[in-house]
Amino acid sequence: MTPTYQGRPFSLFRNLNAKIASIPMILTALVIFVGGTAWTVFYSFTNSKLLPRASFVGFDQYERLWATPRWLVAVENLAIYGVCTLVFSLVIGFVLAALMDQKIRFENTFRTIFLYPFALSFIVTGLAWQWILNPNFGIQQVVRNLGWESFTFDPLYNADIVIYGILIAGLWQGTGLIMCLMLAGLRGIDGDIWKAARVDGIPTWKTYVFIVIPMMRPVLVTTLVIIASGIVKVYDLVVAQTSGGPGIASEVPAKYVYNYMFLAQNLGQGFAASTMMLLSVVIVIVPWAYLEFARRRRHG
């Protein structure tokens, strides 16, 4: 007698239509993303110049990469830009979201104004801030025209602080998106929690720090991943504002890769730098994915 199985279908066949529809996306990811990544890593161990060639040199490209002052400057700039962007984006975005969550008048108008810079391309943002920070007709000149003749503010022309000038433009463009994500998280908090906190006499700042923010963990994790991915691939702002100058003071890894692959015609060195960028992304994404899947498994 043939056994019959009743109840829930085998997990492989659940949501079968959705899984079939996702096959093109899976194939695209495997062929283009995974295949392209493997191809890049493979040729990073060769001495490819104008065209890829399987002439292996071991870790020579990586040794040369980490012995190049230009690459070290790029990594240092990325670290400064990354830490500052992460901290200031989260803090400013959360503060703006908390203020917007107070049911203020013209909330939609303010939200649109704050989010509008994100709709601009990085090239447009970079060019606009290049003009704003120009000492001849930007902020410095405006303040001097008001009477402060000794005022100096020219970060894009000062090698010691040029990365902070790029940071200003990046924060201006990206903070609005972070604010919207945080606001969505705040709007998802049950109003009864706020009422209970007020009844217990808990100060507002403690309510945010010890109650609200821990409850926004999924939103915070997603926001961190979005910010981190934008940090690693920063390129447009640098090209539009400084082109890596003064000298190599504002060099970043993405620009280093472009220069070596398409201008210096040294594919092996460019592939090695690309692989290091990939490694930095993996360091960010893998712990996040592990924590998220582990949490879902515990609560699933």
CB 81 within 8 A of CB 167: yes
142-185 pLDDT per residue, tens? 999 999 999 999 999 999 999 999 999 999 999 999 999 999 99
What are the helix and strand counts (H, E) for the chain? 16, 0
CB 242 within 8 A of CB 250: yes
Q: Phi first, then psi: what are they for 56, rounded to 5°?
A: -75, 140
229-252 pLDDT per residue, tens? 889 889 999 999 999 989 999 999
User: What pLDDT does residue 50 have?
Assistant: 86
Q: Which helix (H) or strand (E) holds 135?
A: none
**How large is the average pLDDT for residues 19-37?**
85
| More confident position, 36 or 249 | 249
249-296 pLDDT per residue, tens? 999 999 999 999 999 989 999 999 999 998 888 887 777 777 777 776
Residues 6+ apart with CB under 8 A from 271: 40, 41, 43, 44, 46, 48, 61, 261
Domains of the chain: 64-298 (1.10.3720.10)
Is the link from the previous residue into 246 a cis peptide, with omega within 30 of 0?
Answer: yes
50-93 pLDDT per residue, tens? 888 888 999 999 999 999 999 999 999 999 999 999 999 999 99
| More confident position, 145 or 19 | 145
Question: Rounded to whole angstroms, how far apart are CA atoms 106 and 109?
Answer: 5
